[in-house]
Each structure stands twice: as structure tokens, then as C-alpha cells.
Amino acid sequence: MKDALRKLQTDIGHDFSDHAILETALTHSSHANESANPSEHNERLEFLGDAVLELCVSEELFSRFPQAPEGALTLLRSKLVSEPALAELARKCDLDRCIRLGKGEESQGGRQRDSLLSDALEAIFAAVFLDGGFEAARRSIRKIFSGMWPESLVEPKSKDYKSRLQELTQKRYKARPVYSLADSRGPEHEKLFEVRLILPDGHEVTASGSSVKKAEQMAAKKALGDIRDTLDP
């Protein structure tokens, strides 16, 4: 256990001043629940660590891919911080050996559960953040994720809003959205085109752009947003 704790601190590149906080990060709620004097467990740290991780990963992707649109960055981030990915990183640091588990949870194989490991790794990031500040947490996360950053950007499907909207309306209404040019105005060199888009259910959206193509894309994007709003109120 002592060896594993040493390896963990080497792997994350941070030596804790406050060992109590490291211990809390490594304590699963099942352990705390089983002891007569419940000690602190790592759920609060996981809440904070999730946000520490999200910012550090976002910042790294933002600077690595200066041309990437928001949607592509979001997609990359969600892969990097997914439960299986984090659990894998946790195992590499021998975090599974360090966690304090309740006996019940232990006997049910909790020590190797992805969700438990990924939560504990997030708690560790919060512990580093509280112990050493944002810079320390950033260093730690970069160290753990080194070699994991994607080399290149796979353009997400989401870029082409028109295609996505058409797929959706075909599926839902067995019909396509209809685009029409509603207006064009302004002098020749900075003409503005306004496009009207009508969904098969009659819902109307308008948008403008410096070309008809751009205006259509914007209109499709809006329509997708409206449809999403009706799905997740």
C-alpha cells in the first residue's frame, strides 16, 4: 500500500503536503459507511475534481487545435474524460491498489469497477488542486494525459448542420426541410442573404449570411436547436 501510494504520487507528479486530503480522495463512501466513526469519503472531492479536469482538458484542446470548431472540441473532450478512459488512466497509476473500500463493495468486485476508479481519479485531481493550486493540478493532469492527446482532429459530423437536419426530419417526418431565399440586401460587395427554412411540421426559421450557403447552414443550425429544445425541455 505504501509503495502504491508512492507510485501514485510519482505518476501524478505531485507530492502532497496535506496527506489527509489524499487519504480522503482515496476513501470510497462504502468504506466510510461501514466504519463506526464515519470518516470523510471522496464524493465531494469528485464533484470538484470533475470541474478541475474539465477545465485543464478544455484548455489543452483549445490550444492544441486553434482552428477546431467548438463542436469538435466538445467531442474530443468527452472522449478523453469518459468513464472508461479515466478508469484506464487510474489503473495505470495503480489507483485501484490505493483505494479504501468497504468490505461489501470489495466482495462484489468494486475495486475494478470503471465508475469507482474514474470517480477516485477525479477526486485525486481535486486533492492536488486544493493542496497545490491550479498550476499543480494542471501539471498533474498534463502528466497523466501525456500520450493521450489526439494527434489530429476528426471533424465531427455535427459541422454540417444541413445534413444533420435532413437526417433528422427524414427520420421523424419522412420529409425534407424546405429552404427558400427570403431576401437579399446591401451593396454588391457585402450583400446579405436571408434564407427561410420550413420544417415539415410547419415550424419556420430564418437566418442570414454573406452567402446563401452560409445562411442555409445557420438556419439549419437554429432549427436543430429548436428541435433539441422540444426534446429536452
Amino acid, res. 180: S
Cβ nearer to a second copy, comparing 85 with 192: 192
User: Can you read off the three cell numbers belonging to residue 145?
Assistant: 494525459
- Compute the distance between CA of residue 199 and CA of residue 54 in angstroms, rounded to an integer: 36
Q: What share of the chain is helix, strand, coil (3-state, %, to 5)?
A: 65, 10, 25
Q: How many CA atoms lie within 13 A of 105 on its CB side?
A: 19
* Residue 43 known to bind ligand: no
Active site residue 194: no
Per CB under 8 A, the segment of 6-14, 18-26, 165-173, 214-222 that binds a second copy is 214-222
Q: Nearest Cα to 64, choosing from 155, 156, 152, 157?
A: 152
- Compute the distance between CA of residue 160 and CA of residue 117 in angstroms, rounded to an integer: 37
**Interface with a second copy (CB under 8 A), residue from 64, 209, 224, 227:** 209
Per CB under 8 A, the segment of 6-14, 66-74, 160-168, 173-181 that binds a second copy is 66-74
**Interface with a second copy (CB under 8 A), residue from 194, 198, 212, 227:** 194
Cβ nearer to a second copy, comparing 158 with 166: 158
Among 96, 105, 122, 216, the active-site one is 122
Q: Residues of 119-150 as b/e, b for ≥16 C-beta within 10 angstroms? A: bbbbbbbbbbbbbbeeebbbbbbeebbeeeee
Q: Is 134 in the site for a second copy (CB under 8 A)?
A: yes
* Residue 94 known to bind ligand: no
Which residues ranging from 81 to 110 are in contact with a second copy (CB under 8 A)?
Answer: 102-105, 108
- Compute the distance between CA of residue 211 and CA of residue 218 in angstroms, rounded to an integer: 11
Residue 164 burial (C-beta neighbours within 10 Å; 0-12, 13-18, 19+): middle
Active site residue 160: no
Per CB under 8 A, the segment of 5-13, 84-92, 148-156, 207-215 that binds a second copy is 207-215
- Compute the distance between CA of residue 66 and CA of residue 115 in angstroms, rounded to an integer: 32
> Applying CB under 8 A, which residues contact a second copy?
29-30, 33-36, 38, 43-44, 46-48, 50-52, 54-55, 58-59, 62, 68-70, 73-74, 102-105, 108, 129, 134-135, 189-190, 192, 194, 206-210, 214-215, 218
Annotated binding-site members for Mg(2+) = 46, 119, 122
Q: Write out the catalytic residue numbers.
A: 50, 122
